[in-house]
Amino acid sequence: MADPDRQRLSPSVGDYLKALWSVAATGVASTQEVSEHLSVTPASVTNMFARLRDMGFVEYERYRGASLTGVGRTEALRLLRRHRLIEIFLLEHLGYSWQGIHEEAEILEHAVSDEFTERLAQLLGHPERNPYGHPIPRTDGALPREHSYPLNEAAVGCQVRISKVSDEDASILDHLCQRGLVPGRLLGVTERRTLDGVITVEDDNGAFHALGESLASSIFVQSFLESRD
C-alpha cells in the first residue's frame, strides 16, 4: 500500500478515485457514469479526469473515459480499506446505526492516517468484509474473490443468501434494514414478474417481500449451497 507519510489526497481526488473503482474497477468509466455516481456535472468530471491524468492516477481520453493506473488503483483501494474499517468501528464500538455508518465514514476517511487505519484493523481483528458485505482490501490491495450477483437475476425456486447490499443510497439502506434484508439472510425466490420487474422473495422467517427492480438490483446474493462452502 501507499507510504503513510506522503501528502494526503484531497477529499475530492479521493472520492473520484473511489468512484472510478466502483463504476469500472480495472475497466474504463465514462464521464456520464461517474457524473451520475457522484451527482456532479459532466463538465466537473471532465475537468477532474484531466487533473487526475496529470497526477498520474488515471489514463484518460476525451469522449472515451478514464481508467485507473496502477498508482490510482492503489490509492482507491487504500481509501476503500480505510472507509470500510471505519464503518465497522462506528457500528460495533460507537453505537451508530447500520444505515448511518456509510456517510459518516465518507467524512472520516479523509481525516485519519494509514497508521490509524492499521491500528484500527488490528483492534477489529482484521475483518474481511464491512457491515454491508463489501470486501475490505488487504494491505497489499488484494481483494477476496466475489461470486455474487444481483437478486433480480435469480431464478424462481432458487434459494439464495444475501452476500452484500449497495451502500450508495441511505433511503435504500433504511428500507432494507427495516425489512431485515441484510447480509447473511436466506431467501427463497417465489415469483418474478416480467411486466414490471418485481421479484418476490420469502425470508427464513416466512415473511414475503415484493421488491421492485431497482431495489432488487441493489441486493447481491449467492446460491445457498455455494454460500455454505
Tell me the per-residue pLDDT of 115-156, one tens digit each, with 9 for 90 and over.
999 999 999 999 999 999 999 999 999 988 888 999 999 999
The fold of 149-227 is: SH3 type barrels. (2.30.30)
Is the sign of the CA dihedral 142, 161, 98, 23 positive or negative?
positive
CB 152 within 8 A of CB 217: yes
Radius of gyration, alpha carbons of the chain: 19
Amino acid 168: pLDDT: 84
Q: Which residue's C-alpha cell is 414478474?
A: 193
Q: Give the residue ranges of DSSP H helices in the chain.
A: 11-24, 31-38, 42-55, 70-93, 101-108, 114-124, 170-179, 213-216, 224-227
HSE-CB at 13 with a 13 A cutoff on CA atoms is 16
Q: Smallest Cα–Cα separation from 49: which of 31, 74, 69, 71? A: 31
CB 168 within 8 A of CB 174: no
Cell numbers describing residue 34: 461517474
Q: What percent of the chain has pLDDT over 70?
A: 94
Predicted TM-score (pTM) of this structure? 0.88
Does residue 4 have a pLDDT over 60?
no
CB 224 within 8 A of CB 160: yes
| CA 25/CA 100 separation, integer angstroms | 25
Taking CB atoms within 8 Å and a gap of at least 24, the contacts of 3-12 are 3/114, 4/113, 4/114, 4/115, 8/110, 8/113, 9/75, 9/79, 9/110, 11/110, 12/48
Amino acid 3: pLDDT: 45
CB 151 within 8 A of CB 198: no
Does residue 65 have a pLDDT over 90?
yes
Please give the average per-residue pLDDT across 37-55, as a whole number: 96
The fold of 1-143 is: Arc Repressor Mutant, subunit A (1.10.10)
Amino acid 225: pLDDT: 67
Distances (CA, A) of 194 to 48, 149, 152, 200, 203: 40, 19, 11, 12, 22
So where are the chain's domains?
Answer: 1-143, 149-227
Amino acid 226: pLDDT: 56
228: confidence class by pLDDT, cuts 50, 70, 90: low
Mean per-residue pLDDT of the chain: 92
Q: What is the DSSP letter of 35?
A: H
Tell me the per-residue pLDDT of 11-27, one tens digit each, with 9 for 90 and over.
999 999 999 999 999 99
Cell numbers describing residue 133: 458485505
